[in-house]
Amino acid sequence: MKVDSDKQFLLARLGAAVRVPVPDVDRGRGDARNLLAVVMSVRENGFYRLGTAQGVVNQLYARSGFTPCRKELIRIEDVKKYLFDQLLLLSPQEVARVS
Enumerate the domain spans of the chain.
Answer: 16-89
Strands 48-51 and 56-61: antiparallel
89-90 β-sheet, strand order: 67-68, 17-21, 34-42, 48-51, 56-61, 89-90
Which tens digits make up the pLDDT trace of 39-94? 999 998 889 999 998 888 989 999 999 999 999 999 998 887 766 566 678 888 78
- pTM, two decimals, is 0.80
